[in-house]
């Protein structure tokens, strides 16, 4: 991670868009909110992942972030493979550090993770964008989605199990166990929601964002860009929904239908933000989102470290019981704790933003 930098103001020019920071901030704020309830046993259903097939608003958060990674790529000044590799390795390293902290039990360290996936798919998308033409990029994205769907539903598992989409017995789970053994998600140890095989369709989520970024940079009237985001996003979401009737929408498997459905909604939301914030110039209301978005890495890593520290020191429960559970019913109390945590980080990032201090990778 580099030191403090002072980028130009959001509205300084076409290379910096308030809507891009706002959308990134929306995804990050949602991620921190759903990751830090007061009590996991009292969480409103929309703030939890779907148990398996299906989706909730929480299941859209991570792909939203990957889409904005793709959009941001088209505005990035990084031009060399080495620069992209450096960024990817830093993200992977931060993810592994978070997974290991505070006990650093390397024998059971979870290798996959959110930051690790972001680092890997960012670098893969960079290579795709650098070495393939537009048509080849689209063909690759389509090929990955179709091929991944066929792998999950048509290829028998090497241990003799028939093709299936059930937890722990599908092909993606087998690949995770074969390649990473005991270094998987501690909640299962038999598969990982950020596993190896599902990284391929996650790459397409980034490419969808990159295609949107190309539209954003094109010399077209704003109304055509907005219309493209809204119409294209709605079409992708509808196609994902229809495909989901055959290949269920599933975040843990990152199914092809899930890529299209979540990516479509991401484009719709980003299109609306771009129209309101950048085209119409209504930016004041989006200021908190921009603050979150400008320091996204610090927010993710810092909030993760704080949550772990509170847990290890056994401070979370006393704070939660005293400040929230003592006067609120269980579900509102749990949500209030999560909102207070988010407000705390907004205060920290607001001060840093006023001083123009941003941690970048």
Those residues of the chain that have pLDDT short of 70 are 1-16
Q: Are 63 and 31 contacting, i.e. CB atoms less than 8 angstroms apart? A: no
186, burial (CB in 10 Å: exposed 0-12, middle 13-18, buried 19+):
exposed
pTM of the model: 0.92
207-217 confidence digits (pLDDT tens): 999 999 999 99
Question: Residue 12 has what pLDDT?
Answer: 34
Q: Is the dihedral of CA 51, 52, 53, 57 positive or negative?
A: positive
Distance CA 290, CA 259 (A): 25
Closest among 25, 93, 96 to 64, alpha carbons compared: 25
Whole-Å CA distances, 124 to 84, 113, 260: 9, 16, 19
């Amino acid at each position: 991670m580099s030191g403090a930098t002072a980028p130009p103001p959001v509205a300084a020019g076409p290379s910096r868009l308030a809507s891009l920071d706002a959308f990134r901030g929306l995804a990050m704020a949602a991620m921190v909110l759903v990751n830090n309830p007061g009590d996991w046993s009292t969480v409103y259903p929309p703030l939890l992942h779907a148990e398996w097939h299906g989706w909730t608003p929480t299941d859209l958060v991570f792909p939203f972030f990957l889409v904005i990674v793709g959009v941001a790529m088209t505005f990035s000044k990084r031009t060399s493979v080495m620069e992209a590799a450096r960024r990817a390795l830093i993200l992977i390293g931060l993810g592994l550090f978070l997974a290991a902290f505070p006990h650093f039990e390397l024998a059971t360290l979870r290798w996959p993770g959110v930051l690790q996936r972001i680092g890997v798919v960012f670098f893969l998308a960079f290579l795709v964008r650098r070495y393939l033409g537009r048509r080849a990029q689209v063909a690759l994205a389509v090929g990955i989605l179709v091929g991944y769907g066929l792998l999950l539903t048509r290829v028998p598992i090497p241990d003799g199990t028939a093709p299936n989409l059930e937890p722990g017995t599908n092909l993606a789970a087998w690949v995770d166990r074969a390649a990473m053994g005991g270094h998987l998600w501690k909640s299962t140890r038999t598969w990982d929601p950020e596993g190896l095989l599902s990284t391929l369709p996650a790459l397409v989520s980034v490419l969808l964002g990159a295609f949107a970024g190309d539209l954003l940079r094109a010399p077209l009237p704003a109304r055509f860009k907005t219309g493209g985001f809204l119409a294209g996003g709605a079409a992708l979401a509808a196609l994902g929904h229809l495909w989901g009737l055959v290949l269920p929408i599933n975040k843990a498997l990152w199914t092809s239908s899930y890529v299209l459905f979540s990516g479509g909604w991401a484009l719709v939301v980003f299109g609306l933000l771009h129209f309101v914030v950048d085209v119409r110039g209504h930016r004041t209301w989006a200021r908190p989102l921009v603050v979150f978005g400008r320091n996204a890495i610090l927010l993710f890593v810092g909030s993760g470290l704080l949550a772990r520290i509170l847990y290890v020191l056994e401070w979370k429960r006393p704070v939660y019981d005293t400040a929230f559970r003592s006067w609120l019913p269980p579900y509102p109390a749990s949500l209030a704790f999560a909102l207070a945590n988010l407000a705390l980080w907004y205060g920290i990032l607001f001060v840093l933003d006023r001083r123009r201090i941003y941690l970048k990778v």
